[in-house]
Structure 1
C-alpha cells in the first residue's frame, strides 16, 4: 500500500527546520524509496526551489483569493490556471509515481474544511488512501513571544495577551473528520527535537531507517533577543504608519545584524514573558490545553506563576511596548547592542554604494538618532 506523511505545522514549531532538513536530504531519501517532492521556484530569488509545499498546494487546491501570504507575494500576479496546469501537473505526477511520499506545509494547519476535503481528494487521486497527518503544537506563552517577534518584523503593534486564545482542538478536529486518517499530534520542544522526532516518524511509518539522515542545520533558530525586540519596535514606530504591516528589506537587514551579534559581540537576553502575560495567556487557554490532553493525548507545559500578577491598571493593550510584556532584558546589554549595531550598519552601508551618491535610507536615519531616545527609556526603566 502506498504511504504518505503530511506535516501540517503548526507554525512556530520548527517547521522551517524540518522542511530544510527534508530538502537537503531529498536525494538520500529518494535512494531509499522516499520522495520529498520539489516545490515551486522562488520568483524573488529566481533560482531557489522552495523547501516547502505551501505554495504548490495553494495553487492546486485553493482559490487564489484564499492563498497564503507567501503564495500571494510570489505568484499573485501570474495566471493561476496556467501555473496549475504546468507546475501543478508536474507535482501530481511525481506523487502518482511514488510509493512513499512526505509533504510539508504549515499553512495546512489553518486550511478550511472544504480545502481539507480537496486535499484528501488529491491524496486519493494519487493513490494514498490512509495518510499520516503530523502536527507539532507549542505551548501558548512561548508561542505568544515567538509570534510577537514575527509581528514586529512588519509593524510596531504587539498582539494583546488578553486576546491570544488558541484553537488547537478545532484545527486538529478538521483533519480527523475524514475516515482512514491517522493523526500524530506532538508537543513542541525544540528545533533539534522536532527534526529528530520527524525522522523517527518516517522510519516507523515507512519501514525504513533513512529518517535518521535528517539533520537540523546550524542557525535555523530565527528568534531574536529581548533587547533586539526593543530596538526593532523603536525602528518600526519611527518608520511605519499606524496600521501598516509589511516586512521590508531594511527590517530584514536590521534583524540579521541583531542575530549576527548575539553570542559573539554582545551576549543578549532570551525573551521571557512577564508574569502577568503568562498568567493571562494561561488563564484564557487553560480549557483548550485540558481539552487537547483529553481528546488528542497531547500534554503541553502549563505552569502559571505561583502568584498571579495582574496587568498594570493603566496599561493599554492596544499600544503595548516590548518592555510591558518582557521581564528579562538588560539596559547594559541594550546599550552594547546599540553601539555594535550602529557599527555594523555603518559598515554595511559603506559596502553598498559610494556614500556621496547614496540616498540616506531609514536605517541610516534611525542609526543616527536612536541612541538618545532608547537610552532615556533604559534609564527610566
Structure 2
C-alpha cells in the first residue's frame, strides 16, 4: 500500500480539506484512495504523532488529549485500522492528514514512525505540505497561539530546515512535495480544489462546493488583543492550553465582529520584511525542496539582520484601533458574555466572584482600552 500524507502546514485551509475528505471518503474509496475517518475530537490522524517526540514537545492538541497510556492505546488502535486497510486493499493509496506533523520531529521519532507504517503494510511514502508567505503564516500563528497563551510566538520564519530535514533523511529526498497555498499566493482557487486537481488528479470530486461556510475564521486585531488580555487576567497559569471559557470568548468575538468595524491583523512592515526575507530559510527550501517563493528577487537577498525581540505588547507587532477595542468590550458586557453558562463556574452572577471579576475586567477594557501584559506581575 502507498501512503500519501498531507501534513499541513497550519493555517493553509487544512481544516476545510480534512472536513471535505471525510465527507466524500466513500467516493474516494471507489477510486482507490482510502481516507480513514477516526471518531475523535482531535484533527484527523494526529494521534499517530504520539510517542515520536518528547512529551513536553508534543503539540498541545496531542499532549492534552489524554494520559500517555491513553494515547498509546489509541495509537495502537489507529495503527491496527491501517493494518486492516492494507490487508484488504494492498493496491490502494492510503491518505492521511495532520498539520501536527508540520513540526520538528526528531529523526529517531520519524524512523520509528516509518517502521510502524511498514509493519502496518505500507511500503511507499509521500508527504505534501502547503506553504504560505512566512509573514502571513506568522499572523495566523499569532492568532492561534494567543487563543491558548498570552505570549506571542517568537518573531521568525517557520523552521523549514528543522521540520523537513528529518523527513528527507528517513523517507528519502523525493518524499516531500511543497505547494503554494493558493489563497495567499492566488491561483484562482482554494486548497481543496488545488489538492484534488494537482495532487489526487480528481478535480471532478471537488466540484459543487459553493456556499460552504468558512472554518477557523481569522479574528481581528482588536479581538485577538482582547483574547490576550483575558488570558493574562484569568488564565495565566494555563499557558499553552485551550480552555472552555477562552473558546467561548473566541466564539463571542467572532459573532460580534460582524457588527463592529474592526481591523484586519497586519504585521508592522519592518517585522513582515524581516520574516519574509530571511535568506537562510528562503535558500534552504529552494535548494533542498525546489520551492521558489513568488515575488522574491533571490539575486538581491541580503543576510538577515540580528534577531528581533518578540514584544508582549501587541501594538509593537500589529495596529490596534482603540475605539474598536472598546466597542467590542462594550458589546461583550452588554450581551452578558461574562455570565455565560459555558464558563467553568456555573453559579449565578450575584454569587459568583469570578463572574463579577470578568465584568470588572470588561469595564476596565472599555474605560482604558488595551494594555500589554505586565509579565512580571504575579497577582491578578
CA contact (8 A) 2:167 2:175 kept: no
The match for 1:337 is 328
Corresponding position: 1:97 with 2:88 = yes
1:321 alignment counterpart: 313
Q: Deviations over 1:86-131 (max 9, x none)?
A: 4432332124323122111222232221222233334444444333
Return the TM-score normalized by structure 1.
Answer: 0.78
The count of residues paired between Structure 1 and Structure 2 equals 350
Aligned equivalent of 2:197, options 196, 200, 204:
200
In structure 2, the partner of 1:259 is: 254
Asked whether the 8 Å contact 1:34–1:101 carries over to 2, the reply is yes
Partner of 1:58: 49
Aligned runs of 1:170-319 on 2, under 5 Å? 170-177=162-169, 178-179=171-172, 181-190=174-183, 193-204=190-201, 208=202, 211-212=205-206, 215=209, 217-241=212-236, 244-262=239-257, 264-283=258-277, 285-301=278-294, 317=309, 319=311
On the 8 A contact 2:245/2:342 being kept in 1, the answer is no
**More displaced, 192-201 or 83-92?**
83-92
Give the Cα–Cα distance (whole angstroms) in 2 for the partners of residues 38 and 130 of structure 1: 21
Q: What secondary structure sits across from 1:17 in the alignment?
A: helix
CA distance in 1, matches of 2:268, 2:173: 44
Matching residue of 2:113: 119
SS in 2 for 1:361: helix
Q: Which consecutive residues of structure 1, in runs of 5 or more, have no partner in the other structure? A: 43-49, 305-310
Q: Is contact 1:130–1:180 with CA below 8 Å preserved after alignment?
A: no
**What is the TM-score normalised by the length of structure 2?**
0.78
Q: CA deviation at 1:337?
A: 1.6
Matched, 1:37 2:36: yes
Tell me the alpha carbon deviations over residues 116-167 of structure 1, each in whole angstroms, 9 at most, x when there is no partner: 2233334444444333210112222112222221221222222342xx2432
For 1:359, which of 349, 352, 371 is the aligned residue? Answer: 352
Provide the rounded CA distance (Å) in 2 between the counterparts of 1:114 and 1:30. 33
List gaps (5 residues or longer) in structure 2.
298-304, 372-380
Secondary structure in 2 matching 1:74 = coil
Normalized per residue, which structure has more helix? 1
CA offset at residue 257 of structure 1? 0.7
Counterpart contact for 2:8–2:14, Cα < 8 Å: yes
Q: Is the 8 A contact 2:21 2:35 kept in 1?
A: yes
Please tell me whether the aligned partners of residues 13 and 136 of structure 1 are also in contact (alpha carbons under 8 angstroms): yes
The answer on whether the counterparts of 1:145 and 1:272 sit within 8 Å (CA) in structure 2 is yes
RMSD: 3.4
Residue 70 of structure 1 deviates from its aligned partner by 2.2
The aligned counterpart of 1:307 is none
Q: Does the CA contact (< 8 Å) of 1:257 and 1:344 recur in 2? A: no
Q: Give the deviation of 1:265 after TM superposition.
A: 1.3
After superposition, give the CA deviation of every residue in 1:272-319 in whole Å (9 maximum; x if it has no partner).
001232233235x22211332343232335679xxxxxx9xxxx9455
